[in-house]
Structure 1
Amino acid sequence: MTHTLSLPIPTSVGSIDQYIQFANRIPLLTEQEEKTYAHRLHDDGDVEAARALVLSHLRLVVAIARGYLGYGLPHADLIQEGNLGLMKAVKRFDPRRGVRLVSFAIHWIKAEIHEYILKNARLVKVATTKAQRKLFFNLRSLKKDRNALSPDDVSAVAAQLGVKPEEVVEMETRLGGQDVPLDGGRDDDDEHFAPIAYLRDPAAEPSELLANAEQAQLQSDGLVNAMAALDERSRHIISARWLTGDDGKAATLHELADEYGVSAERIRQIEAKALKQMRGELAALA
């Protein structure tokens, strides 16, 4: 006879640390207990059995989610998405297959977290293919240290993951970006200045607002003129790279390289030259 998990799911907790403590206090199931609960769910649709299976594996979600903290998303959100994957795994788990739930659930938990990161991470959404997703989630572990990849390392990673070297370089650049906290944390040091300390008041005086509006109009007109001064290829590259469409996606260097039949480095050079020309046009309005 199996024991019944008596711990309720808390409706609210004071902190993520308290939730983690709660998850770690829930007893693990033995293999026989797990099979019994799984059969009750699979054969009879027993909701309490499903609850027991989910609760006993919350600590697994916590552990997996901790491995994705480097993507700039809150640990609590990662755990929540992982819990959704766990519930999907429990629903689909068949005890007759002879595997433990933990082995079966890992795939579903990671898949749900991966999908959440791709949709919500601060990074520009470049992982659009299966190979790029694999690159996105494996590049950190493949790097030997925090230094930039050497050309040989880039080639090795590209070959291992089945992507282009240009994609490895671009992904490494984007993964290397860091967010700047607005409030800088709770630091009482007088020499510590976070952005919140020096951001200007949005309620500026009317004369300054008018001057800013006029300047913005001049820059907008200047941008149109600067774009018009570019050749057709440069204009298309700048538009594709900087002026995203309704889907919110900007073209990557390798995508434009494939379109024009040149290297990604050549596209970068054309982009840099066009931006320099446009800055010259806009500087005249300053």
Structure 2
Amino acid sequence: MQEDVRRKLIKAAMKAPYLGREEEHELALQWKERQDQQALHRMIMAHMRLVIAMAGKFRNFGLSMSDLIQEGHVGLLEAAARFDPEREVRFSTYATWWIRASMQDYILRNWSIVRGGTSSAQKALFFNLRRLRMKLQKAGGTTPSEDVYREVAQALRVSESDVAMMDSRLAAADASLNAPLRSDSDPTSERIDFLICDKPQPDELVREAIDGERKAQWLHQALGTLNGRELTIVRERRLSEEGATLEALGASLGISKERVRQIESRALEKLRTALVKHHPELAA
């Protein structure tokens, strides 16, 4: 919405006549029952003052007043679509919630490139904690203390860690990772150069994948030295995700669990011998 368009909208809204209770009720009925667009237009224009006033309350968030008014207008239309004229409630009272919610959602989406919480508790935390920070700054304070965190957490029914996390987001502005650090020693350095990644480097991943394939092939060859019963026990006990118990294998093979343990121990020793024979480096 351009600035001149916003001025025209505000001017038109201020000139729009107020609606009495009976007239408002009649217009709401016409819109709900007959989808009368003219009735909707009169209702909307009569309440655009409310949108403009609400936008003024959120002007300190650094966002365009035109965009806030536009979002409030969307909320006003949503309120008109949901309003039930048969209830003993003025449209302005009902619409206020939708206008505020629409603007708050817009602020949360655009205030930072880092998405904040979208639950009602997180929204309340964002706006209440920011208001608290502004009061502290005006009073000459710095940041909320742990006691304040605790009070806010109890009042809004969120954890203290959520309060601390939200406060850290409010305290720091967005910054590009490609922004130069302007260091005299290295003027070409960017913020992204100092980010630490715990994940392996690409060459390490490739090396691990190749080693894994090679060792899997070695193991497959070594398994060929086992007889049928030994191979069954090793596969069921060592190479399956769940791992069969000695009792289960004994019952399946018709032998005792102690005999299963002995065969397994012998099979593992045969595997170790076969692997070391062909690949001595594994003995280390």
**CA RMSD between the two structures:** 3.2
Deviations 1:177-208 (A, max 9, x none): 4579xxxxxxxxxxxxxxxxxxxxxxxxxxxx
Deviation at 1:169, TM superposition (A): 2.2
The equivalent of 2:36 in structure 1 is: 46
Matched-pair contact (CA < 8 Å) for 1:134–1:161: yes
Matched-pair contact (CA < 8 Å) for 1:123–1:175: no
Deviation at 1:174, TM superposition (A): 2.0
The equivalent of 2:168 in structure 1 is: 173
What is the distance in 2 between the residues matched to 1:224 and 1:178? 21
CA shift in 2, pair 1:32/1:13, >3 Å: farther
What is the distance in 2 between the residues matched to 1:114 and 1:127? 12
The equivalent of 1:145 in structure 2 is: 136
**Unmatched segments (≥5 aa) in structure 1:** 1-10, 181-211, 230-286
Is residue 95 from structure 1 mapped to residue 78 from structure 2 by the alignment? no
Matched-pair contact (CA < 8 Å) for 1:41–1:50: yes
What is the distance in 2 between the residues matched to 1:225 and 1:81? 39
The equivalent of 1:111 in structure 2 is: 101
Identify the match of residue 23 of structure 2 among 20, 33, 58: 33
Deviations 1:148-167 (A, max 9, x none): 11221111011101112222
What is the distance in 1 between the residues matched to 2:149 and 2:101? 26
Deviation at 1:19, TM superposition (A): 3.2
The equivalent of 2:159 in structure 1 is: 164
Deviation at 1:33, TM superposition (A): 1.1
Structure with max Cα Rg: 2
Please give the residue correspondences for 1:112-261 in structure 2 after superposition, counting only pairs within 5 Å.
112-122=102-112, 124-142=114-132, 144-146=135-137, 147=141, 148-177=143-172, 228=200
User: What amino acid is the match of 2:90?
Assistant: R
User: What amino acid is the match of 2:155?
Assistant: Q
The equivalent of 1:77 in structure 2 is: 67
SS of equivalent residue, structure 2 residue 100: helix
The equivalent of 1:61 in structure 2 is: 51
Structure with greater proportional helix content: 2
CA shift in 2, pair 1:164/1:103, >3 Å: same
Matched-pair contact (CA < 8 Å) for 2:3–2:66: no
Deviations 1:65-102 (A, max 9, x none): 22222322211101101101101111221211011000
SS of equivalent residue, structure 2 residue 86: helix
Matched-pair contact (CA < 8 Å) for 2:113–2:174: no
Please report the TM-score for the alignment, with normalisation by the length of structure 2: 0.56
What is the distance in 1 between the residues matched to 2:195 and 2:41? 58
SS of equivalent residue, structure 2 residue 136: coil
Identity of aligned residues (%): 36
Name the structure, 1 or 2, with higher relative contact order (CA <8 Å, separation 6+). 1
**Unmatched segments (≥5 aa) in structure 2:** 176-187, 202-284
User: What amino acid is the match of 1:84?
Assistant: V
The equivalent of 1:252 in structure 2 is: none
Please report the TM-score for the alignment, with normalisation by the length of structure 1: 0.56
User: What amino acid is the match of 2:116?
Assistant: V
CA shift in 2, pair 1:226/1:173, >3 Å: closer
